[in-house]
Amino acid sequence: MLDVSINNENFRIPAGRPAEFILILKNKGNKKESAKIEIVPEFTVKDGELEWKMDITGLTKEGESILISPNEAKPIQYSVDVSKGKLKEIFFEIYPPKAAEIGDSGQFKIIVETDVGWEKTVKIDVDSAIVAIKTQIGQEIKVARELGLKAKMKGWKDIFAVMAPYNLRGYVLVETSRPDVVLSVIKGIRGAKGVVKGEMNIDDVKGYLTPTPTVSTISKGDIVELVEGPFKGEHARVMDIDESKNEITVELFEAMVPIPITVKAEAVRLIERGDKDGSSS
């Protein structure tokens, strides 16, 4: 008797990245068991000519690598033997095409014909991912602006958003369906130092995207950068804080006459901690 299971059935991944799962066959009987495995692919895609790749390890000695065209998808069949009391693991890696679009999906029905029969459908949806770009400290907004402008001018539809959260120093976040192209996108942008390996989803970065009461993180003497208003980009020292109004009073470094100005706390970004006596650390 074969006990059949699978470790994952649903995936939301960017284009070109693999959906990895394991089909597990466990022989609980006292004799060798044979089974037929059938994989039935179905697709909902914008371009049916783009091929999906499926790598399978554990069915044959050399492994299998198959290209599947959605327009010509056909069932794939294998036979497998499992010795008595043994466990057989079959590893799958299914790659959506690098040029796949958001909303493309593949459904792979896996049927195992045993004495009782078993089937599951693995669903793969192409979605965006969040990629982190390492930047020079203090250059986050500049890099984000240049990257956004470059993407717009070049007509890169694979980049959906560029974010420089106030509370994430040294990084810019990019939402894209093509993480593999981000490294080439940042070439020539001063202040961009490289791409952090791996991707994240929106849940991983929600803490950086949710506004926080900035005034509670600012102290007198801190050095800040103004990110809104007529003094955008200027650096200043915090002179006073009004928590009830969520406002801070700052003194610009480059001003000819040191006249204090009052702004909302959300209009500044912390650059450097300062001592309470007004000197920076």
- What are the domain boundaries of the chain? 2-126, 129-209, 214-272
Other C-beta atoms lying within 10 Å of the C-beta of residue 260: 13
R_g (Cα) of the chain, nearest Å: 27
CATH of 2-126, one of 3.40.50.720, 3.30.70.20, 2.60.40.10, 3.60.20.10: 2.60.40.10
Q: Find the helix or strand (DSSP H, E) in which 12 lies.
A: strand 10-13
- Which residues on neighbouring strands pair with residue 25, listed in sequence order? 4, 88
pLDDT at 207 over 80: no
DSSP string, 90-102: EEEEEE--TT--T
pLDDT mean across residues, the chain: 88
Q: In a 3-state reduction of DSSP, which class is residue 192? A: strand
CATH number of 214-272: 2.30.30.30
* Dist CA 43 CA 23 (whole Å): 21
Which one has a higher pLDDT value, 217 or 134?
134
pLDDT of amino acid 37: 95
CATH topology of domain 129-209: Alpha-Beta Plaits (3.30.70)
pLDDT at 155 over 90: no
pLDDT confidence of 213, banded at 50, 70, 90? low
Q: Find the helix or strand (DSSP H, E) in which 207 lies.
A: helix 202-209
Q: What percent of the chain has pLDDT over 90?
A: 52
115-148 pLDDT, tens digit per residue, is 778 999 999 999 988 999 999 988 999 999 999 8
* Dist CA 73 CA 267 (whole Å): 54
pLDDT of amino acid 197: 86
pLDDT confidence of 277, banded at 50, 70, 90? low
pLDDT at 280 over 60: no
Longest dimension (CA), the chain: 91
User: Which of 76, 43, 72, 40 has the alpha carbon at shortest distance from 59?
Assistant: 76
